[in-house]
Amino acid sequence: MERRRFIPSAEGTQQGDPVAPFLFCLAFHMVLHDVLAAHPGVRASPAFFDDGWLIGPPEAVAGALTALITEIPARIGASIRMSKCEVYSPTGDVSMFPEQVRGVATRMEGVTILGIPMGSDQYVRRRLCEIATEAAAILPRLSEHPDPQTCGILTLQCAHPRVLHLLRGVPPALARGGTVCDDGMSYHDHIMACYAGPTAGVARGPAFSSRAMRLASLPSRYGGAGLTHTDALADAAWAGSWAQSWFHMRSFFPHLLGRVTLASARSGGSSEPSTAPGGIMRSVGEAFARIEALDTLVREASGQGAPFPGPLRHRAATTSIIHPTEYDARSHTRSQSSYAAVVHTSEWLSLRDSLTDPRERAWLLSVSIDSVGPLFMRATPAFGPLVISPAEYPIAVRHHFMERQPVVAGVSRCGACSAHMGVSGDAMHYEECMGSADTGNWYARNHDVLERSLHIMLSQVFPGRGTVLRQDVPGAQGYSPHYLPDLAVLDYDDRGATMVTEVSIFRPTCQTHIGAACTSSASLAVERRRRGDYGALPPSTHWRPFIVDTFGHMSPGTYAFFSELVRRRGDRDVQGRLEPEDSMTWGTQWRLRLSVVMARIAAHTIATRARGDFPLQPLQRGLAYHP
């Protein structure tokens, strides 16, 4: 660094100059624009620097390429490397292209554009297998990551989408079952093995049961981990991508799609290959027909009044999904989400109907409907309140899916009450055990942690305006002759009114609540009972519930209360120094924080009960725990 040497920039730009790509694109754009204007039968895909595709009839594309070979050196001083060019046409004559271009001497079966394989069915299937195998090879290294929470985020947001994005560009007949790796396992099976299993990096231990695997394959709004299956989403992704792009594609490439009408989608289209225009519309029609059949099942379930999660839960009876014949009118940007919602809802209903054990059904409804429970699996540990230690995270994940806990392996009796633990090995007893004089009970610990979290929330919503009191403040019991409020906010509305809040947590799988929990009404019953405990309140005192179960399900009043806090808080900037959490809205931040708090409560309860000598301190310091 002491000796300096200056390199004069005589021609072009220096290696590493951040402005260089922009300058090149400015020059290359004008050349490409003029060549395309002179060849109206040719279209260009969006180019990435010097990497792009010319699309059109072979003779027209050959003419445009010849023009570029001449114009690029003359106008910008660059040249085309013919050995890096390739041409593909399923049936057209490509002999007029230069011999150095790949695909001229030996016809190519297909090409890969922006990561999507296009060509013959054999080529697409082969490339899908190669892509899935290459992506799966990284997963064992990912499982070696020392932090399970980071491993879970990388699996969900990086490894899982590497294959999932292909569904938008590959017909379902090829995508469904096409992501099988060389070892015979599907990519989804590899993802699940990375997430939960004997060598997993997230929830190491026994492999998940079929019930847990099905739930983990659903998005978090359905109670899952978001590890969606490619086979399940193939129809929704394919039809949704054409619903978004068909309107524009028809105008960009009329010579390709102008002769194919969307009416053919209703009748099943032609018998052309999958990648030909007629074959594309045939596959779109078939995909939509399967989605429409699932939508009928969802509507029937909705008509029966059965509770289920997701955006279709409150859908109007007259609302219908977009039919392919409507793609011509405009670009339907939300169609893929609506198609996927139908698929996911039908999957969830199928899972619900397969559960005959009341305990399992109560669990499913609790983690799925109005629940913050699954959100901790999407929490990036960017700041303190969202961090879960390596000792806690695997236990929390297995608790969420009600799966076997390695931490209780070999434990036959509860150390707190000496009761038999049972054979399921899921440690659910520890959240039903009331403990002993030495250990305390689960309710006191969980309740106090939630109360502290809500106290922080209220302090952020009412800064400098109302006074937030906890139940240990003298005089707080004066708000009700029958009950002691957990939290109170004085003058919360600037008109002298007082808000009193009841914090309560219950177990949906215990005998007291399991009957109502099977119909997702247990939280409402607890809420009404807690409200009755307070008796008649003065007109200036307003009662609010904060009632959740151990899986994160919120009572109706709690859900409304949280929404009220979000509206009152808004998205005001945090005063003073900016923190990492300021990049997300206040409501999103607190949904994640509540989920993380409850996950840590469950993990700590299970770990300390399973090992009477298991200290809290290692969990707080993030040290590894080996049962």
Q: How many domains does the chain have?
A: 4
Residues 448 and 567 in one domain: yes
Locus of tokens 């230069």:
98
Residues 248 and 152 in one domain: no
Residues 460 and 560 in one domain: yes
Q: Are 187 and 163 in contact (CB under 8 A)?
A: yes
Question: pLDDT value at position 435?
Answer: 59
CA distance linking residue 596 with residue 598, whole number of Å: 5
Residues 452 and 567 in one domain: yes
pLDDT tens sequence across 260-272: 455 455 544 444 5
Could you list the residue range(s) of the whole structural domain that residue 270 is in? Answer: 231-354
CA distance linking residue 352 with residue 364, whole number of Å: 7
Residues 158 and 56 in one domain: no
CA distance linking residue 25 with residue 13, whole number of Å: 13
User: What letter represents residue 70's amino acid?
Assistant: T
Residues 197 and 278 in one domain: no
Residues 90 and 135 in one domain: no
- Strand stretches in 137-287, DSSP E: 196-197, 203-204
Q: Are 518 and 353 in contact (CB under 8 A)?
A: no
Question: pLDDT value at position 212?
Answer: 95
Cβ density class 279-313: b for 16+ within 10 Å, e for less: bbbbbbbbbbebbeebbeebbebbeeeeebbbebe
Which of the listed residues 338, 354, 370 is the one where a domain comes to its end? 354
pLDDT tens sequence across 156-215: 999 999 888 899 999 999 998 888 888 889 999 999 999 999 999 999 999 999 999 999
Residues 67 and 123 in one domain: no
Residues 167 and 249 in one domain: no
Whether 176 is covered by a domain: the verdict is: yes
Whether 101 is covered by a domain: the verdict is: yes
Residues 246 and 330 in one domain: yes
Question: pLDDT value at position 9?
Answer: 63
Residues 6+ apart with CB under 8 A from 527: 545, 547, 555, 556, 557, 558
Give residue 260's region: left, alpha or beta (phi > 0; psi -120 to 50): beta
Three-class SS of residue 475?
coil
Question: pLDDT value at position 619?
Answer: 40
* H or E segment and range at residue 44: strand 43-44
Question: pLDDT value at position 416?
Answer: 66
Question: pLDDT value at position 623?
Answer: 39
Whether 381 is covered by a domain: the verdict is: no
Question: pLDDT value at position 434?
Answer: 62
Question: pLDDT value at position 464?
Answer: 65
Whether 34 is covered by a domain: the verdict is: yes
β-strands 43-44, 54-55 pairing? antiparallel
Residues 175 and 256 in one domain: no
CA distance linking residue 475 with residue 516, whole number of Å: 36
CA distance linking residue 8 with residue 420, whole number of Å: 81
CA distance linking residue 227 with residue 478, whole number of Å: 50
Residues 279 and 246 in one domain: yes
Query: Which of the 8 DSSP states describes residue 476?
Result: G
Whether 85 is covered by a domain: the verdict is: yes
Which of the listed residues 354, 370, 395 is the one where a domain comes to its end? 354
CA distance linking residue 446 with residue 456, whole number of Å: 16
Whether 399 is covered by a domain: the verdict is: no
Q: Which residues of the chain have pLDDT under 70?
A: 1-12, 253-278, 314, 316-318, 415-416, 422-423, 431-443, 464-466, 471-483, 571-583, 612-627
User: What letter represents residue 158's amino acid?
Assistant: C
Q: How many CA atoms lie within 13 A of 589 on its CB side?
A: 22
Give residue 582's region: left, alpha or beta (phi > 0; psi -120 to 50): alpha
Three-class SS of residue 498?
strand
Whether 240 is covered by a domain: the verdict is: yes
- Pick from 581, 276, 614: nearest CA to 439: 614
Which of the listed residues 208, 239, 259 is the one where a domain comes to its end? 208
- Strand stretches in 170-305, DSSP E: 196-197, 203-204
Three-class SS of residue 405?
coil
- Pick from 397, 453, 387, 405: nearest CA to 622: 387
Whether 368 is covered by a domain: the verdict is: no
Question: pLDDT value at position 475?
Answer: 45
Question: pLDDT value at position 215?
Answer: 96
User: What letter represents residue 44's amino acid?
Assistant: A
Q: Are 403 and 206 in contact (CB under 8 A)?
A: yes
Three-class SS of residue 343?
helix
